[in-house]
A and B are shown apart, each in its own frame.
Chain A
Amino acid sequence: MTTSDQYKDSEHLLLALAEQLKLPLLHISQHIELAKMGKETRYEHIESVADMAIHLVDSYLLSRQLSSAQSALQLEPLSVSSVLQRVAERLEKIAKEYSCDIELNLSGRYAPVMGHRKSLEAAMISLGYSFIEAQQESGIRKPRLVLGAHKSRSGIVAGTYGNHKELTANMFQRAKLLHGRARQSLPVFGHSSSAGIFIADSLFATMAGGLHVSRHSKLSGLAVTLAPNTQLTLV
């Protein structure tokens, strides 16, 4: 990728982030205004949307830092189960605000994978937040977020899955091409919930092959394939 391409990519990501941040900031502003009008204030909501907004900004900064770093990313052996467990804990509050059920679906035991813990967690949280927001924007009555992992020929597939039957590999590839050029590049997700996906894609690209569309327990979602740690497997 040339410097100019990198700059454009970064600019598109920043635009998507700005779009997505409008919504949590608007929620916070309105809750304060309602409090001034004498209505009950939902501090939990203010706190959880503010936390997610901060998380998105931090994840964006991390993705920029990693993509501009000169040296290769230091990967370490990680347990996918423990990463997904932590992601579920971090998303719990915001999911509750949107009445979204979070499920951990880890079919079987996995060998450790090679990854960068901070990036993996940040990417998964951003991805999960986008799925939660997109489902509430689409008016899905029983929103559900599944954090799942399964084995594949090339490694361990870990991702976020939800009620997005229309999500296809072609659609996602097209969305990546249109990203930054179209208002709503990914039709399944509103224009205000796609930044988390592109930030996650950027973070995954620094340690694995980037995001891809995946199926898990009859659900569609976006996932990353992580290489197993062969050293530890041999032991």
Chain B
Amino acid sequence: MNILLIEPDRILGGNYQKALEQYGHSVNWQSNAQSAIHQADAERPDVVVLELQLPAHNGVEFLYEFRSYTEWQDIPVIVLSIVSEESVTGGAKLLEQLGVVRFLYKPQTKLHQLVSAVKYLEPALS
């Protein structure tokens, strides 16, 4: 699958990319919301993996912008964040409305769990 990974931390971004590529996925890793929009425009992703705590923007703002383009409204988004779901204003309900299919709290998510979450989406996308 073609994955758009939005992760500001250089070390974590590299680690997620390595883990996902090991399982045959193609990963486009971007460190901020603006470059992620450009990347999605250049190559439509199958899945977006998103950190909510981004420089300059926050991830929820990114989601609003991303979903405003009709061609990207059905792309599943996995949130993988250092902030917990409870601390997001609007909570799980808002994230669901914005097409977030899974919320993974980063400190408690092993790399293989992220790989599994992506794998779980494969049948729906094929």
Contact = CB atoms under 8 A, between A and B. Distances in A.
Interface of A: 22-23, 25-27, 29-31, 33-34, 37, 39, 45, 97-98, 136-139, 183-184, 190-192
- The interface residues of chain A, by DSSP majority, are classed as helix
A139 B10 CA distance: 8
Given A37-B111, A183-B83, A23 B15 contact: no
Interface in B9-64: 9-12, 15, 18-19, 22, 31-32, 53, 55-56
A-B complex: 4 closest residue pairs judged by Cβ atoms? A139-B31, A138-B55, A30-B15, A22-B107
A27 B32 CA distance: 20
B8 interface: yes
B9 A37 contact: no
Interface residues on B, range: 20 to 34
- Of listed A22, A26, A184, residue having the most chain B CB within 10 A: A26
B55 A139 contact: yes
Q: Is the interface of B mostly helix, strand, loop or mixed?
A: helix
Given A22-B106, A29-B110, A139-B8, 6 more contacts: A27-B15, A39-B18, A39-B22, A139-B55, A184-B53, A192-B82
Residue in B11, B18, B32, B111 with the greatest tally of chain A CB atoms within 10 Å: B11
B126 interface: no
Nearest to A99: B10
24 contacts: A22-B107, A26-B12, A27-B11, A27-B12, A27-B15, A30-B12, A30-B111, A31-B15, A33-B110, A34-B111, A37-B19, A37-B111, A39-B22, A97-B11, A98-B10, A137-B55, A138-B8, A138-B55, A138-B56, A183-B83, A183-B87, A190-B8, A191-B53, A192-B53
B11 A139 contact: no
Interface of B: 8-12, 15, 18-19, 22, 31-32, 53, 55-56, 82-83, 87, 106-107, 110-112
Nearest to B111: A33
A191 B52 CA distance: 12
Contacts of B19: 33-34, 37
Contacts of A22: 82, 106-107
Please indicate which of the listed interface residues B22, B87, B111 has the most CB atoms of chain A within 10 Å of its own CB.
B111
A138 B12 CA distance: 14
A183 B89 CA distance: 12
Contact of B53 (A30, A136, A190): A190
Central interface residue in A31, A34, A97, A184, by most chain B CB within 10 Å: A34
A183 B110 CA distance: 24
Nearest to B10: A136
B109 to A, nearest CB: 9
A4 B12 CA distance: 39
Contact of A45 (B11, B18, B31): B11
Contacts of B18: 34, 39
Given A22-B82, A23-B82, A137-B55, A33 B112 contact: yes
Contacts of A39: 18, 22
A190 B54 CA distance: 8
B82 A37 contact: no
Contacts of A29: 110
A45 B14 CA distance: 13
Contact of B22 (A23, A37, A137, A191): A37
